[in-house]
Each structure stands twice: as C-alpha cells, then as structure tokens.
Amino acid sequence: MPMDELRKKLTQMDGKSYKMLKSIQGSYKERDFTLHIDYVQGDPFASPSKVRVVVPFSHEKRSTDCLSTDVRKIAVEDMIARFVNKEIKKKQVPRMGTGKGGLVVIDSPGQEVLDRTAVNVNPHQIDIRLSIGLPANGRRIRGKDAATLLTHTVPVIVTNALEKITNTKVKDYVILADNQEAIRKDMKKHNIVSFIANGSILPRESGVSNKPLKDAVPFHSPDAFEHTVHLPDGSTITGMAIPQGITLIAGGGYHGKSTLLKAIERGVYNHILEDGREYVLTEQSAVKIKAEDGRSVHDVDITPFITNLPFNKDTQSFSTDDASGSTSQAASIVEALEMKCTLMLMDEDTSATNFMIRDARMQKLVANEPITPYLDHVKQLSDTLNISTILAIGGSGDYFEAADHVIQMDHYKPFDKTKQAKEIAGELKNNRLHQTPTPISLPKPRRFDRPSFVNKLGHKQKVDAKGKETILFNRTPIDLSHVEQIIDQSQTRALAVMLKRLSTTFKENDTTVMRAIDHLYEEIDHKGLDVLGTFKGQHPGDLALPRKQELVQTLNRFRRHG
C-alpha cells in the first residue's frame, strides 16, 4: 500500500477510538523505503508499537563484502543501530498527549558490540526495528500527529542516519572487527587467555558509566608479558599477553587491580572504537566466580571443595535455597566446569575468605573444617584440567607458591613481580599444611529439570525481564545481580525468552542442561536471533545474544521451590 494511504487513513482517524489504530497494521511503500507496522499497541499506556523501516541495501551503494563474515555483519548492524539512535536523540521528538505518545526508540548498544535484533542487514536490504508510541488524547487518536510521526519523522530519522554512514566509517568498523577476530585466533594459537593492548584505557568514568575515564593512565605491558600480533590490515599491535596457568593481579587498594580484572572480564565481548578497551580481549569461555550469599543451588557435586557437613548434609548432589558464601562459590566453580569454562576470574574482594584461604594458625585451631580452600585446588585445576585462573588479590601471599605469573598494579601501571613473589615465598614460610584435595574432574552432566520450569511457568506462561538483573518467571524472580558478565538488559530480555523456549518448546524431558542449551544455540546459529521473537507478528527488536555461560548461570539461579 502507498505511504499516502497511511497518511490519509491516520488523518481520518483523528479524534476516534484508539482501538481503531489496529487497522493500520501492514506495509506501506515509499520510493526509497518500506514501512512495516508489525504491531499496534492496544492502549496509549501499553507497550509501544513495533515498526520496521526497510531500505534496499543497493540504495546505500555499499559492497556486500562488509557482510562476508559473522563478526563483520554484527559490527555493521551495531554501527547502524548507533547512528539511528544518535539521530533519534538529535531529533528530540516531543511527547504527544497521553501515555507513550511520540516515543521513538531503537535498542541502542552500549560500549560492547553484541549480536542484536535491532538491525538486520543482508545483501538485499537493511531492516531497522523501532518501538513507537502512537499519540493520543486520553484514549482518542491524535491522527494528524500519528501521520506526521510515521510518514515523516521516522523516515527522516532513518534516512539521515544512513546518509551519515560513509564508506569510510563502514571500513573502520569492519577493520576493527577483523583485527579483533585476528587477535582472538592468535591467542588460541599461542595459549593466551587474555590480551591487553598497550595504550588501552581501562578505568571507566564512574560506577554508572561504562565510558572511558578522561586523563586515565594508558596501559603498558611489562616487558616479560609483551606480545605482538600481526593484523589483517597490515599493521601490528603489541600488548600484555596473559598465558594459560595461574595469574595473580596483586596490588594495594585503589591501584587498579580490580579495574584490570574488570576489563579482562568484559574482554569476552568486542568493544567499539574509542572505548579504550577495543583491544582488550579474553578467552570467550571465561566465567567470573564470586560468593553469592543466599543463592539457590541444585544438584551440584561440591565434594572437591566441601565435605563432611554437619547433619550429614549431602555434598555429592548439593541443593539449597540459601547458600553461604563458600558453598555458593564452590557450586559456581563446578557449574563453570560443567559449561566447559577454561578460565576462572576471581577477585579477592568478592570472594568468601574461608573458601579462598586457610592459614596455618586457623588450621591448627580448627581441625574439622569441611572446606578445602581454592588455594589447594588451583594447581590441580591448571595442571590436570587445563583450567586457568586469574585472581585479583591484595591480602594474602599464600597464593605465591601456586602462581605461574604475578602482575603487580602500582598507580594503574602493571609490573612483572613473578620472580620477587617466588623469592618472598621461599624466604617467608607460611607453615600452612597443604590440604590434599579430593581429586577434581569435569562434573557429570546434570539433567535438565524441565518439569520444574513448566510447573512454575503455569498456564499463563508469562516471562518478563525487569531491568538487567531480574527475570520474572511467572511470579518467581530470578536474581542475576551477581552474574557480572551480563552487560545489557537486552541480553536479560533474551535470557527470559530463552528460558521460556527451553521450558515450552524443548520437549525432551530426559536430556542434560548443556544438551538443551546447545540445541537452542544451534537453532539460533541456523536461523538467526530473530527466532526468539516473543509474539507472533512482532519483530523482536530489543534482544541481544548472551553467551551460553550466562544462560546456564540463569538456569542455575532458578528457585524450584517456594
């Protein structure tokens, strides 16, 4: 249908019942684009309408070479979403009447580059997904304003954004994506678990801003850790390469050890140009491990770390709805092994002290301690299972003997202190007894308890994300506040949809957690992230792909009881 028909139809609806807007759902063609109205809100206060603007790819006269790999395609889609969001902010569309009238939103990216549904590009077209608040007075249509919004304002925003995306800008995004991928491949080749380029800016503006801190000290690798990578664009890049094994990031308070660990933690994702961490890259299976008092744990074998609990509490298939700091951290490590994590990231500040260390004096006083500290397992994990650990630590030198590498942060500058740490360990004996740990191995895959999810879901089958840190599974909240590698609320929305999909569409009751998740990700790989569309006929324009690790962690925090 021609765009003029939509303009005419909306103008004639002026002042009429809001419910009449449902009739405008459909597709409207203009010379250079097509407007698809996929879903119209039933009320001006309800969730906004779903609209897509589709532009022929050839209209932009760009080579399809920028879509030749997955990382390139994701980078280009991310770039378009950013430019559209900038135009929306620049336009400053005024609110119109009651409710959400005048709202124009795209699911805008943060500092990380994620696979999103906000934009979908293929060699034929650019598909831009928006959420629109159709204007009303009370529950009466503001027809003329709605016509202006849909037939003029939205097309102008999209057109202006695409016109500003020059071939040079596309090339910059593609080169960065290619370079990041090349570094990741080099890391695997040289058994490197994290790479931090010289000149990187690691500190952030504040606790609520993920943008780089102005006038921060640029990162520069100690000579012993320097590694150079040859990039596809013909240049080279040098930085600090952390090898496989056990690495301590030591230092006093406020000297940058947690800042470095946070950058490493976020390095599982690619970052945008000028973020400061665009060349901070980490093994993509890495999992941040921390103590989580009160979390739920289900059927996890924590015997390598905890045995002989009072009242004969079973630790081979440990379950609780109120874990302590130590039991939660033990469970998180075993769960990470189940999901094939090869790099554990820990910060002394967010760990349970009695889980991490037990000194000689305490060993002598308390003879019946059920916890075998991580200190007594870390070497076995590295040597036997090839599981590396990066630990930010400032209060205990007991890890010096076990460490393969020690990096000290001093005024946000890293120094190689491996030799000195080993010398100190030799001079100052701690006299603690090394506890012979229960041999640790990859855990037996746990069964996916689908019936528990189905029962909690109920007949309404309602699942919703509340911000970045909470999912409401029907009425059951899932607390994700300690899953620190969820970095965007759009990932949380995707996790909510994934939980529902695993519960309702994956019919095999006798399967493992990882098999069910692998099956879902295979479907996403084959059909794209749009396969997670929440409602028939609506574009899923506000989802971002989490890693498998975050989906497993979400499943693990689901409370089956209560």
Note whether residue 170 is domain-resident. no
Residue 1 has which token pair?
A: 């249908």
Instruction: Give mean pLDDT in consecutive 10-residue pieces for the chain, a chain of 562 residues.
Output: 94 95 95 94 94 84 86 97 97 93 96 97 95 95 96 96 93 97 98 98 92 96 98 96 98 94 98 98 98 95 90 88 96 96 97 93 88 95 97 94 97 97 92 80 91 86 93 94 97 96 79 93 94 72 96 94 67
* Residues whose CB falls within 8 Å of the CB of residue 166, separated by 6 or more in sequence, listed in order: none
| Domain assignment present for 215 | no
Question: Which two tokens mark 471?
Answer: 């999912």
Is 179 among the domain residues?
A: no
pLDDT for residue 3: 92
In a domain, 183, yes or no: no
Burial bucket for residue 17 (CB in 10 Å: 0-12, 13-18, 19+): exposed
Tokens for 191, please give them. 């058994």
Q: Is 396 found in the same domain as 363?
A: yes
Determine the pLDDT at residue 504. Answer: 86
For position 437, what pLDDT does the model report? 67
- For 3-57, the pLDDT digits (tens) are 999 999 999 999 999 999 999 999 999 988 999 999 999 999 999 999 999 999 8
What is the rounded distance in angstroms from the CA atom of residue 47 to the CA atom of residue 539? 13
- Which among 3, 43, 138, 49 has a CA at the least distance from the CA of 11? 3
Statement to judge: residues 9 and 64 lie in one domain: yes
Residues 17, 123 within the same domain: yes
Residue whose C-alpha is closest to residue 373's, from 310, 304, 309: 304
pLDDT, tens digit (0-9, with 9 covering 90-100), for 231-277:
998 999 999 999 999 999 999 999 999 999 999 999 999 999 999 99
Backbone angles phi, psi at 35, to 5 degrees: -100, 120
Residues 6 or more apart from 508 whose CB is under 8 A from it?
Answer: 450, 516
Please check whether residue 327 is in contact with residue 436, taking contact to mean a CB–CB distance below 8 angstroms.
no
- Of 111, 147, 108, the residue nearest 128 (C-alpha): 108
The partner residues of 271 in beta bridges, in order of sequence, read: 112
Phi-psi region of 506 (alpha: psi -120 to 50; beta: other; left: phi over 0): beta
Which of 111, 367, 387 lies closest to 244, judged by CA? 387
257 and 337 in a single domain? The answer is yes
Q: Are residues 277 and 343 in the same domain?
A: yes
Separation between Cα atoms, residue 112 and residue 110, nearest integer Å: 6
Q: How many residues does the chain have?
A: 562
**What is the residue whose two structure tokens read 């909306």?**
10
Q: Based on the domain organization, do 404 and 507 belong to the same domain?
A: no
Same domain, 370 and 518: no
Per the CB < 8 A criterion, the answer to whether 483 and 289 are in contact is no
Is 437 strand, coil or helix? Answer: coil
Angle between helix 154-163 and 70-91 (nearest 10): 130
Alpha carbons within 13 A on the beta-carbon side of 519: 14
Give the per-residue pLDDT at 540. 85
| For the chain, counts of helices (H) and of strands (E) | 15, 27
Amino acid at 40: V
Amino acid in position 144: K
What pLDDT was estimated at residue 509? 67
Summarize the chain as % helix, strand, coil (round to 5): 35, 20, 40
- pLDDT score for 460: 78
Q: Are residues 521 and 427 in the same domain?
A: no
If one counts the domains in the chain, the total is 3
Question: Which pLDDT score, from 0 to 100, does residue 61 have?
Answer: 61
Question: Is 231 within the bounds of a domain?
Answer: no
pLDDT in tens, 212-227: 999 999 999 999 999 9
The token pair that represents 14 in the structure block: 């002026």
**Structure confidence at residue 537 (pLDDT):** 58
* Single residue among 427, 444, 461 that ends a domain in this structure: 444
Q: What is the pLDDT of residue 105?
A: 97
CATH number, position 295: 3.40.50
Residues with Cβ < 8 Å from 140, sequence gap 6 or more? 15, 16, 17, 18
CA-based nearest residue to 166, from 62, 276, 56, 298: 62
Out of 139, 165, 191, pick the residue that ends a domain.
Answer: 165
Domain boundary residue, one of 418, 444, 470 = 444
Write out the E strands in 244-366: 246-250, 270-271, 280-282, 287-289, 297-300, 318-320, 343-347
Domain holding 463, by residue range, is 450-556
According to the model, what pLDDT value does residue 534 have?
A: 60
Strand partners, 250: 393, 408
Decide: residue 409, CB within 10 A, 0-12 exposed, 13-18 middle, 19+ buried: buried
In a domain, 81, yes or no: yes
Give the closest residue to 272 by CA, choosing from 418, 134, 81.
81
In a domain, 175, yes or no: no
**Cα–Cα distance, 285 to 23 (Å, whole number):** 48
What does 459-481 look like in DSSP terms, one character per residue?
A: TTT-EEEETTTEEEETTEEEE-T
d(CA 133, CA 50): 9
Q: Report the alpha-carbon distance of residue 168 to residue 303 in Å, rounded.
A: 56
At 307, the amino acid letter reads T
* 64 plus 147 within the same structural domain: yes
- Give the model's pLDDT for residue 536: 57
Residue 132 lies in a domain: yes
Cα separation, 370 vs 310, in Å, equals 9
Contact call for residues 38 and 159 (beta carbons, < 8 A):
no
Consecutive H or E run containing 8:
helix 3-12
553 vs 551: CA distance, rounded Å: 5
Q: Are residues 125 and 110 in the same domain?
A: yes
5 neighbors 18 (Cβ within 8 angstroms): no
Kindly state whether residues 436 and 502 are assigned to the same domain.
Answer: no
Contacts by residues 83-87 (CB-CB < 8 Å, ≥ 24 positions apart): 83/161, 83/162, 83/164, 83/165, 84/119, 84/128, 84/130, 84/157, 84/158, 84/161, 85/109, 86/161, 87/157, 87/158, 87/160, 87/161, 87/164
Residues 323, 281 share a domain: yes
